[in-house]
Structure 1
């Protein structure tokens, strides 16, 4: 089946409260819905979340690169020519979430055309994932209350704590408050979004040595090459490369250079095709992975759980799948559900989701 049209539709959904972390804050989900139309009338969908402070993309740039560069190169190809699509999109430097959304929408279209779930096409390992929830910057009491609400309401027992503030004692105090309130049976890990210097990160991890943290993610900027390598040598806590490892080449650099010993995979920036490349590289190097989140809406979250559940390595650890709960609304006809700390892959062909036309009409920005 050939691709006959590709759409990039801007939409905006407010967050219930601002999401704050070291590299910026987000008040509204100014995302892009990508729709890939097949010649038989079927449509594949995916979501591109712009993160200008991380990857340099904006809602406007994503629309422009898809409309002006990617669509003219991809229309006319069949849904099976994904290597050709990747090669043509890779001629354009950067633009990771735009490329990822096009890739995932093509996979969704492929699954719909074959009447097969994408999770089965990718690997079909399981039908669910445990969920990790991100706790952003706030006073200690508010961070504790949010985590307790997520545990009591949704059964979530893994929490990613945003750190990277100055002074370091703010984040050390927050993590200590969370551990004391939630007890020893909850998994806690930290994500600095490149907010600390290596010396600050080492001091913070030393101060939190008794909190049984499971991971530390992207505490320092990627350009702190020697500092990051030194930091890894200072702590027994696995160090996760995230923003610094968005492509297979970067993954290799971070792992072989000793700057990280674990990798975060985000379908929002590497799609399904690129995420499999990263995953297989990590498996070959004996490196653990975690499924991350780009503050995705429900469309993007559905893509994350589809990929994570499809593979043994990505389904073994809780994935970051709950940020959509902070949005005041979304685009799906049937909202995603988290129960007992888990999210299931949606049944049905493709990614298993449908866009509500009324909600899209309400939130789209180009109408």
Structure 2
């Protein structure tokens, strides 16, 4: 079953409110829909979310590399020749979300053609995941109100709190307000998006030592090598490598260097194939993982829950699966729904979701 065409379609869906964190601010989901067409008419889809301040990709660069570099080389290959497809993709440095979207769209074709869900093909461990919700920068009362709404409306009891501001007290105060309002039974962890120095991060963790934080993610830049080792060694809060560990080699470096004790896996940047490689490496090294979020839309979230639920190791913790709720609309024919703090894997073949052509026509930006 050969690939006959690959499309990269830009679209933009406004957020209900700006999303703010230490590495940037976004007002709309300026993403790219990647479609892989097979010769029998089956079409696989995936979503590429650019994060220029994190990975250097833009909507324009994703379209360009897919249209002019990747598509000409993989058209004519079978969707089952996934190692040959990755040999083509890996010749190009960087461009993680463009590569990931092609990989996931290929898996979607395979699942649709076989009439089987991708989550089953990947492992089929369970059919759902617990949900973690990201709370971004805002006044304390606004952050608390958002978390309470997610708990009351969707049953979510795990929250990832964005930190990394200066002065440090802005974020330690926000975390304390969340703990006091939500009580001891809610899980809180923090993500700094590389916003602090080692000393600032150490001070913040000391100030929050009584809050029962379960994880701390990317509190400082990856190139502060000695500072990261020092911080990880002095704290009892597990340290999660995210942007610093996007490939198996980086995962190995972060873990063996003592710069991290856990790894965030994001299908938006490693697809299904690369995410499995990262997962298996972590399993071999005895390291916990968490399913992260690239501020994905519903299509990207469907990919995350499909992968996370497929494996015992990734389904053990709540996955970051709710931030599509910040978007004012989406592209899918049937929206994802979080209930009782859980998100189920969509039940159809492939990734299990379909793109609404009318919505795509409305939100695409190339026509």
Q: TM-score range by the shorter chain?
A: over 0.9
- Aligned partner of 1:24 in structure 2 is 24
- Aligned partner of 2:165 in structure 1 is 165
Find the residue that maps to 2:206 and give its secondary structure: helix
Question: How far is 1:118 from its partner?
Answer: 0.3
Aligned 1:140-159 pairs, distance under 5 A: 140-159=140-159
Aligned 1:144-223 pairs, distance under 5 A: 144-223=144-223
State whether structure 2 residue 108 is matched by structure 1 residue 125: no
* Separation in structure 2 between the aligned mates of residue 341 and residue 357 of structure 1, nearest angstrom: 30
- Aligned partner of 1:326 in structure 2 is 326
* Separation in structure 1 between the aligned mates of residue 125 and residue 79 of structure 2, nearest angstrom: 23
Question: How far is 1:252 from its partner?
Answer: 0.2
State whether structure 2 residue 257 is matched by structure 1 residue 257: yes
* Separation in structure 2 between the aligned mates of residue 113 and residue 303 of structure 1, nearest angstrom: 17
Question: How far is 1:234 from its partner?
Answer: 1.1
State whether structure 2 residue 284 is matched by structure 1 residue 284: yes
* Separation in structure 2 between the aligned mates of residue 34 and residue 238 of structure 1, nearest angstrom: 35
Question: How far is 1:130 from its partner?
Answer: 0.2
* Separation in structure 1 between the aligned mates of residue 120 and residue 166 of structure 2, nearest angstrom: 45
* Separation in structure 2 between the aligned mates of residue 122 and residue 264 of structure 1, nearest angstrom: 18
- Aligned partner of 1:228 in structure 2 is 228
Find the residue that maps to 1:313 and give its secondary structure: coil
How many aligned positions are there? 367
- Aligned partner of 1:95 in structure 2 is 95
Question: How far is 1:348 from its partner?
Answer: 1.5
- Aligned partner of 1:266 in structure 2 is 266
Question: How far is 1:172 from its partner?
Answer: 0.3
Aligned 1:1-80 pairs, distance under 5 A: 1-80=1-80
Find the residue that maps to 1:70 and give its secondary structure: helix
State whether structure 2 residue 112 is matched by structure 1 residue 112: yes
Identify unmatched segments of 5+ residues in structure 2.
none
* Separation in structure 1 between the aligned mates of residue 91 and residue 22 of structure 2, nearest angstrom: 32
* Separation in structure 2 between the aligned mates of residue 82 and residue 94 of structure 1, nearest angstrom: 19
* Separation in structure 2 between the aligned mates of residue 328 and residue 74 of structure 1, nearest angstrom: 35
Identify unmatched segments of 5+ residues in structure 1.
none
* Separation in structure 2 between the aligned mates of residue 244 and residue 347 of structure 1, nearest angstrom: 33
* Separation in structure 2 between the aligned mates of residue 173 and residue 297 of structure 1, nearest angstrom: 30
Structure 1 residues 184-235: Cα deviation after superposition (integer angstroms, max 9, x where no partner): 0100000000000000000000000000000000000000000000000110
Structure 1 residues 121-145: Cα deviation after superposition (integer angstroms, max 9, x where no partner): 0000000000000000000000000
- Aligned partner of 1:238 in structure 2 is 238
Stretches (4+) displaced over 3 A: none
Question: How far is 1:117 from its partner?
Answer: 0.5
* Separation in structure 1 between the aligned mates of residue 191 and residue 324 of structure 2, nearest angstrom: 18
* Separation in structure 1 between the aligned mates of residue 87 and residue 56 of structure 2, nearest angstrom: 21
